[in-house]
Amino acid sequence: MAIKKVLVVGSWAKEQITVENIVNNSEAGVYVFMDTYNPGIIPLADGFCIGDFYDTESIVGYALSVSADLVLVTTASPLAAGLADRLEEKNICVFGPTKSAARLESDKAFARRLMSKYIPEAVPDYGVFSKAEDAIGFAREHSWQVAVKFTGLREGLGVKVFGDQLKNEDEVVDYIKEVLDKGKGPDSQVVIEERLIGEEFTIQCLVNNDCLITTPAVQDFKKLLPQDRGPNTASMGSYSDKGKLLPFMEEADYEQALNIIRTTIKGFREESGKCCKGFLYGQFMLTKKGIKLIEYNFRPGDPEWLNTLTLLKGSLLKPVEAVMEGESYSCDFSKQATVCKYVVPPGYPEELNCLLKVNWDEESISHTGAKIYYSCGKNEEGKLQVGSERGIAIIACGDTIKDAYLRIESAIGRLRGEFFYRKDIGSEEQILEKCRRVKLARVNG
């Protein structure tokens, strides 16, 4: 397929690096539909439109107006609203799941039921409830060692876990009731799962039914505070190692995770008879009992996509074209490690829709080997405005994770203003502790 014009749908750092990759590695014109004015994307794009992600007709109209040959949908809300379906109705080529397939992300109850049927060993014990007393009973049976989740999209902020955000059984009960009260419509539900203990990792794939193109594993950090404490966030940062594995992983862990992804896709197709394509992100937990799936996102992760595209050699369009045509393709990645950290307003995540009061000298940051990507917009006064996202992402490569970590710390040390970030992400002490815990779990598993 000849791609002359690409439309990217999304507003944040993962979209900025996607646009940057296409601009730097292909002749295609790049257009962007955003819901905010991202100052990192605007200079790169041949054109842009700002609108509502749930207004699928406007996005389709913009795709038609720029004569897009391909639409890359990298954010969740328009997919859940059926954007891919609308584009296909207009014979516009789209890489992203239909509304039905997007339920793997947008409907946690649906995803768990599907996996329980096709690959039950990868699913923690769980229940889906519409009545608080039933959900509370399930949590009590598990000695309150549970995770409490909304069934739908919550910008990465909807999960609370006993022992972390939920300190006692009363808080579990209160949050169950809160989730049900905030649910949409009479069929609002809450998902309760047994609490998983282990090390998380992410594998992002380009999928089109049975065709699957893989990328290196990445580990991200959802907790706000060092040592994985505090409230959940959309993510405070991530790292990857040289090659496709993380320091605590074995080849079998990676292959087991891929098998879970393949089996899920096969199960979805058998149940629905429909196509399953797009950027599929699997978040896994390495436990004493093997690999468990935490959740799927049917779009790239943010910040994990920054780690991945920073290392990808050549244009992202090549593997996208290959997978859409059902062809095998092996991406070529630089043999380096990466560390990415988010710089956020001091009150995040409790305070959203606020200013990020940070300044920096671009040349000074460049000298460290780090790069900055925006997950925020600019308001009419030219100031950085953080909505439901975070702020700015800073990423660097190195021959080792330690090298990348030191470059990031040097770059953040050159920022001026009021901000918060996690210093521990990617540190040598953190990596060694993770390896120690996993080694112990394998011995005692």
Q: How far is residue 58's CA from residue 55's CA, in Å, rounded to a whole number?
A: 6
Nearest to 8 by CA among 24, 25, 28, 27: 28
Q: What is the pLDDT of residue 423?
A: 98
User: In this model, does residue 157 exceed pLDDT 70?
Assistant: no
Percent over 70 (pLDDT), the chain: 98
Q: How far is residue 13's CA from residue 375's CA, in Å, rounded to a whole number?
A: 5
What is the band of 184 on the pLDDT scale with cuts at 50, 70, 90? low
Q: How far is residue 230's CA from residue 239's CA, in Å, rounded to a whole number?
A: 20
Overall CATH class of domain 5-96: alpha beta
How many CB atoms sit inside 10 A of residue 393's CB? 28
Q: What is the pLDDT of residue 156?
A: 60
Q: What is the pLDDT of residues 15-69, one digit of tens each?
A: 999 999 999 999 999 999 999 999 999 999 999 999 999 999 999 999 999 999 9
Q: What is the pLDDT of residue 163?
A: 87
Q: What is the pLDDT of residue 158?
A: 78
Asked whether the CA dihedral 9, 12, 17, 20 is positive or negative, the reply is: positive
Q: How far is residue 323's CA from residue 274's CA, in Å, rounded to a whole number?
A: 16
Q: What is the pLDDT of residues 279-306, one digit of tens each?
A: 999 999 999 999 999 999 999 999 999 9
Q: What is the CATH number of domain 125-194?
A: 3.30.1490.20
Task: Please report how many Cα atoms fall inside a 13 Å half-sphere around the Cα of residue 354, on the Cβ side.
Answer: 15
Average pLDDT for residues 196-203, to the nearest whole number? 97
Q: How far is residue 354's CA from residue 307's CA, in Å, rounded to a whole number?
A: 27
User: In this model, does residue 389 exceed pLDDT 90?
Assistant: no
Q: What is the pLDDT of residue 1?
A: 72
Q: How far is residue 320's CA from residue 96's CA, in Å, rounded to a whole number?
A: 11
**Burial of 177 from C-beta contacts in 10 A (0-12 / 13-18 / 19+):** middle
Q: What is the pLDDT of residue 120?
A: 97
Measured CA angle at 219 (ends 114, 232), to 5 deg: 75
Average pLDDT for residues 374-380, to the nearest whole number? 94
Which residues partner with 6 through β-bridges? Answer: 30, 70
User: In this model, does residue 368 exceed pLDDT 80?
Assistant: yes
pTM recorded for the entire structure: 0.95
Average pLDDT for residues 351-371, to the nearest whole number? 96
Where do the structural domains in the chain lie, given as residue ranges? Answer: 5-96, 125-194
Average pLDDT for residues 160-183, to the nearest whole number? 91
Is residue 258 within 8 A of residue 203, CB to CB? The reply is: yes
User: In this model, does residue 363 exceed pLDDT 70?
Assistant: yes
